[in-house]
Amino acid sequence: MPTISVDKTELYKALGKDYSRDEFDELCFEFGIELDEDTTGREEPAQLKIEIPANRYDMLCFEGIALNLNVFLGRQAMPTYTLKPPPGGALETVTVSPATAAVRPYFSCAILRGVQFTPARYASFIALQDKLHANLARQRSLVAIGTHDLDTLQGPFSYEALPPDQIRFAPLNQTRAMTATEMMGFYEKDKHLARYLPIIRDSPVYPVIYDANRTVLSLPPIINGNHSKLTLATTNIFIDITATDKTKLEIVTHILVAMFSQYCADPFTIEPVRILSPHNTESRTSPDLTPRTTHASAAYINSITGLSLPRTTITTLLKKMCYHATPSPTSPDTLDVAIPITRADVLHEADIMEDAAIAYGFNKLPRAFPATKAAAAAALPINKLADIVRLESAMAGWAEVMPLTLCSLDENYQWLNKSPPSSSEQQKPIRLQNPKTAEYQIVRTSLLPGLLKTLRENKHHAVPMRIFEVGDVAFQDARLERRSRNERHFAAAWYGKQAGFEMVHGLLDRVMMMLRVGFVARGGEGKGEGGEGYWIEEVEDATYLAGHAAAIYLQLAGRKAQKIGTFGILHPSVLKAFELPFPASTLELNVEVFL
């Protein structure tokens, strides 16, 4: 969630009240924003750091926070934003070249006339653009904004796409003109701009905006030209906005003009610009300030809020949330709702309903407990089974541990003297694409690494240590939609001055007995015959010391006998890999076979 820093004194002045911390906290709480920090005493002037919901682009600056709270408090009506053509009547024009379709197809713009900047307003204007770029515009990849001193430029304008070598201008805060190709090198190490270069770098053409004299306004989404640089003295602002996403282009345009047109000579008016873009049928007069109109059902709002408010009361509530709502003259239940251009977050009647509930007060809503009809309490079968194994292990004197499920390839394989399977599709591990640390490369396919790491971190504990885990491992599985599956395993480790082979063996016997599976002594011959039960056989497994490892076989009624796990004395090289000076024995088996 974005956090916005605003001047405390200025905000309280705008809200017409010198709030105490508790009072302001409460206002934020009721509205649904959060006062994160008050820097009073640590910073001059004192700042309030306010957390804004991620979809409230209209509150990403001081102006928006003040506006929304004032409307909520009933101190101000939601302004009506209007288009005001220039005195002569002839609109500025921008011609969009079809070539832009290949790199950044959508264009929008607007002019703010007679703006009175102060240092605070200017800083807020720049900061809002930064916030929009970072959040909604996904680091400028979807939308990029350029703002210019219109008085340094000469219309008509054009939005073009040209090979980078043909674009040449002095970028913002530079005096030397360079080509767009040179700029890619120039800003490669730039802390702020480098991250935006890949958005267009490999495109054969770069997007660029010119005025009538071929002065470059912007090379979106990288940088503006220095020529039309905005200053505190700027009064007429030309805003260009380019995008790869048409919806977000409109949102950004709306937010910018709505937030800052209040400082225009004629407040809340915006000068429209004619955009000529016939190739993609995007020719229009920009911006479009028409509020979106929709309908909301009073019955629906009342039904979810649990209220029974008349439509007129609901319209009053909605007014506090910036809507203009009126009872429909044609339908007894309907409200005709106009959604202002600032409220891009409103997608559905449900959003209007929620705003009505916020305006009413969440904590004042009637609380009727939901009916408990037809509810069935049931535990997931695999969890019930796992709980049996957990309970029996703990009762047998073993302590439950909870290591992580993500681990490195080496821990999962090499340290256990295994190598990652390459051929067997069912046993391959799930590999992560983008872990922040080499500690997390795969999802574990065995519980052993976690147990052994737990022992390693607990060497201060008296020996013997007896630990166990019942948890999920995961494998690739090409047959399934997710191409992978979890498998519930049970594993235990004994660690002490002696290896404790017969201890893990005893635990196996105990758990099997509790699962009603009997031990059948079976040799290599004739296995799989007869009734159900489990048996063990010596096995060659590099994780274990030769001659001290067993495979566990299970046969359940009506099913084929299968190997479900292994146990044994860990090979000294495994102990060494996990930095364990004493011997250990481990047991691991698949629990799901008992489902």
Residues in 234-273 at the binding interface with other proteins, rule: CB under 8 A: 245-248
Q: Quick check: 349 binds other proteins (CB under 8 A)?
A: yes
The residue among 105, 11, 106 whose CA lies nearest residue 61 is 11
Which residue stretch of 102-110, 480-488, 512-520, 579-587 sits at the interface with other proteins (rule: CB under 8 A)?
A: 480-488
Q: Where are the alpha helices (DSSP H) in 245-344?
A: 246-260, 298-305, 311-319
Region near other proteins per CB under 8 A, out of 8-16, 40-48, 201-209, 354-362: 354-362
Nearer to other proteins (CB atom), residue 69 or residue 167 = 69
The one segment of 62-70, 159-167, 461-469, 540-548 that binds other proteins by CB under 8 A: 461-469
Applying CB under 8 A, the span of 186-194, 276-284, 310-318, 478-486 interacting with other proteins comes to 478-486
Phi first, then psi: give them for residue 533, nearest 5 degrees.
155, 180
What residues between 3 and 32 interact with other proteins by CB under 8 A? 29-32
| Angle at the Cα of 70 from the Cα atoms of 64 and 71, rounded to 5 degrees | 90
**Among the candidate windows 123-131, 162-170, 213-221, 299-307, which touches other proteins by CB under 8 A?**
299-307
Are the beta carbons of 442 and 412 closer than 8 angstroms?
yes
CA atoms of 579 and 296, how far apart (whole Å): 66
- 418 neighbors 571 (Cβ within 8 angstroms): no
CA atoms within 13 A on the CB side of 172: 17
User: In the 8-state DSSP scheme, what is residue 402?
Assistant: -
Q: CA of 1: how far to CAs of 134, 164, 409, 584, in Å?
A: 12, 36, 35, 48
Give the shortest CB-391-to-other proteins separation in angstroms. Answer: 8
Distances (CA, A) of 253 to 54, 58, 147, 193, 566: 18, 11, 12, 22, 64
Q: What is the dihedral of CA 178, 179, 182, 188, to 10 degrees?
A: 90
Q: Does 434 bind other proteins (CB under 8 A)?
A: yes
Decide: is 438 part of the binding site for other proteins (CB under 8 A).
no
Smallest distance, Å, CB 397 to other proteins?
A: 5
The CA distance from 252 to 255, in Å, is 5
Rounded Cα distance between 302 and 365, Å, is 11
Does position 497 interact with other proteins (CB under 8 A)? The reply is: no
> How far apart are the C-alpha atoms of 21 and 35, rounded to whole Å?
9
Q: Which is nearer to other proteins, 213 or 437 (CB)?
A: 437
Residue 198 touching other proteins (CB under 8 A): no
DSSP reduced 3-state for 471: strand
Is 365 one of the binding residues for other proteins (CB under 8 A)?
A: yes
559 binds other proteins (CB under 8 A): no
- Determine which residue in the list 41, 231, 378, 526 makes contact with other proteins, applying CB under 8 A: 378
CA distance linking residue 333 with residue 355, whole number of Å: 18
If one asks whether residue 337 binds other proteins (CB under 8 A), the answer comes out as no
- Selected binder of other proteins within 44, 202, 481, 540 (CB under 8 A): 481
Cβ of residue 370: shortest distance to other proteins, in angstroms? 4
Interacting residue with other proteins among 367, 497, 516, 560 (CB under 8 A): 367
Determine the size of the site formed for other proteins (CB under 8 A). 101
Give the list of residues 6+ apart from residue 248 with CB closer than 8 angstroms, or none.
Answer: 136, 137, 142, 143
Q: Judged by CB under 8 A, does residue 402 bind other proteins?
A: yes
Q: Does residue 102 interact with other proteins by CB under 8 A?
A: no
Binding of other proteins at residue 54 (CB under 8 A)? yes
Residue 47's DSSP bridge partners are 7
Contact status, residue 99 vs residue 209, Cβ threshold 8 Å: no
Q: Which is nearer to other proteins, 177 or 338 (CB)?
A: 338
Q: According to CB under 8 A, which one of 174, 235, 283, 405 is a site residue for other proteins?
A: 405
By CB under 8 A, tell whether 305 contacts other proteins.
yes
Report the C-alpha gap between 447 and 490 in whole angstroms: 8
CB 538 within 8 A of CB 547: yes
> What distance in Å separates the CA atoms of residue 440 and residue 3, rounded to the nearest whole number?
30
Give the C-alpha separation, 258 to 242, whole Å. Answer: 18
* Choice between 116 and 369, CB closer to other proteins: 369
CB 311 within 8 A of CB 356: no
Tokens of 559: 């099913």
Of residues 268-297, which lie at the interface with other proteins (CB under 8 A)?
Answer: 292
CB of 133 to other proteins, least distance (A): 13
Contact residues for 224 (Cβ-Cβ < 8 A; gap 6+): 146, 147, 148, 171, 172, 217, 218
Stretch of 6-14, 184-192, 276-284, 358-366 contacting other proteins, by CB under 8 A? 358-366
Site for other proteins contains 383 (CB under 8 A): yes
Interface residue with other proteins, options 8, 227, 466, 571 (CB under 8 A)? 466
Cβ–Cβ under 8 Å, residues 193 and 187: yes
369 is a contact residue toward other proteins (CB under 8 A) = yes
> Binding of other proteins at residue 489 (CB under 8 A)?
no
303 binds other proteins (CB under 8 A): yes
- 551: enclosing H helix or E strand: strand 544-555
Tell which one of 90, 102, 432, 546 touches other proteins (CB under 8 A). Answer: 432
Separation of alpha carbons 554 and 549, rounded Å: 17
Shortest Å distance, C-beta 246 to other proteins: 7
Question: Using the rule CB under 8 A, is 358 a contact of other proteins?
Answer: yes
| 513 forms part of the interface with other proteins (CB under 8 A) | no
CB of 411 to other proteins, least distance (A): 10
**160 near other proteins, rule: CB under 8 A:** no
Q: Determine the interface stretch with other proteins among 108-116, 201-209, 470-478, 511-519 (rule: CB under 8 A).
A: 470-478
Between 122 and 440, CB nearer to other proteins: 440
Tell whether residue 557 is a contact of other proteins (CB under 8 A). no
Site string for other proteins, 117-156 (x = CB under 8 A): ------------------x--x---x--------------
Distance between CA atoms of residues 593 and 364, nearest Å: 52
